Amino acid sequence: MVTCDRCATEANEGASVCPQCGYSAEEEIQKTGTFLLVAGLGICLTAVGAIVGVPLIYFGIKTRKEADEYGIDYDAKEYSPW
C-alpha cells in the first residue's frame, strides 16, 4: 500500500491515481519537468543574449562614435541596404 501525497489516503501499490482525490504523482512530475525545461531554456537564452548582445551594443556604440569623428553619416538613406 502507498499513501497519497495530497490527501493521505492509502491506495494499491500499482495505482496511478488516488482513488479518493484523483491526484497523480506522475502528472505532477511531468508538469514540474516541463516547467524546469521551459525555465532552463529561458535562462539559457537570456544568458546567451547577454553574452552576445552586450558586446554587440558596445561595438555598435564604438563604431558610431568613430564614424562621428571621421564625419561618416551612417544614418543617410544611401548607405542603407534596405
Please check the confidence at residue 82 and state whether its pLDDT lies above 80: no
| 25-74 pLDDT tens trace | 778 878 888 888 888 888 878 888 778 788 888 887 887 787 777 665 55
How many domains are there within the chain? 1
HEC string of the chain equals CEECCCCCCEECCCCCCCCCCCCCHHHHHHHHHHHHHHHHHHHHHHHHHHHHHHHHHHHHHHHHHHHHHHCCCCCCHHHCCC
Whole domain around residue 70: which residue ranges?
2-79
